[in-house]
Amino acid sequence: MNKEERTEIRNKDRDILKNVARDGEEIVARQMDEIQKKYKKIEARIKELKEQKSEFLSGAVTKAEILETAKERLRSGKKSFIQQLLGEHLKQCQAANVLPFVNMHLKMRMLDPDQAWKLFFFAVTEKDVEEAVALLPDIGISASAREAEIKKIDREISRLSKVIKDDLEALKA
């Protein structure tokens, strides 16, 4: 074999190696692109599901739910105000050895002007709340329907997360 033939063989081998390297890089790039597309699609879907979940969590409630919540807050506000006001008044009476509920002490010590807004709880009745809620539009979904939708979304998020975890575990094996 002469020098030219050996050079030609070396050039062909070099070209083959270049082609293999180039083709290999293209294969890797395409596979990486496909993998990236797959996981970006999963990530986008999970973000979409989280937004849907957020909408359910902060969405409108039914009239029945707002009625029950409003009544409970009204009851709780009254109870808290009475406990705070009465407790403080009786504590002051005890410390000063004065009679509870004496007009002078009630006026001077029981109602801090900054707390006067709490009298709202006594001005509004449960009947007032019921009448106001009756005027509301029928919107929102029930708590059970909301919870069912949230569970459905959570299952889908878990399924998608598992796809990624399974793929990662398969690569580690």
| Per-residue pLDDT tens digits for 87-132 | 877 888 888 888 887 766 565 555 667 777 788 888 899 999 999 9
- Using CA atoms in the order 66, 67, 73, 79, what is the torsion angle rounded to 10 degrees? -170
Q: What is the pLDDT of residues 33-52, one digit of tens each?
A: 999 999 999 999 999 999 99
Q: Which of 139, 149, 147 has its CA nearest to residue 64?
A: 139
Cβ-contact 67, 60 below 8 angstroms: no
CA distance 132 to 128: 6
What is the value of pTM for the model shown?
Answer: 0.64
Q: Residue 46 in contact with residue 160, Cβ under 8 Å?
A: yes
Give alpha helix (H) positions in the chain.
Answer: 3-58, 63-96, 103-105, 120-123, 126-134, 143-172
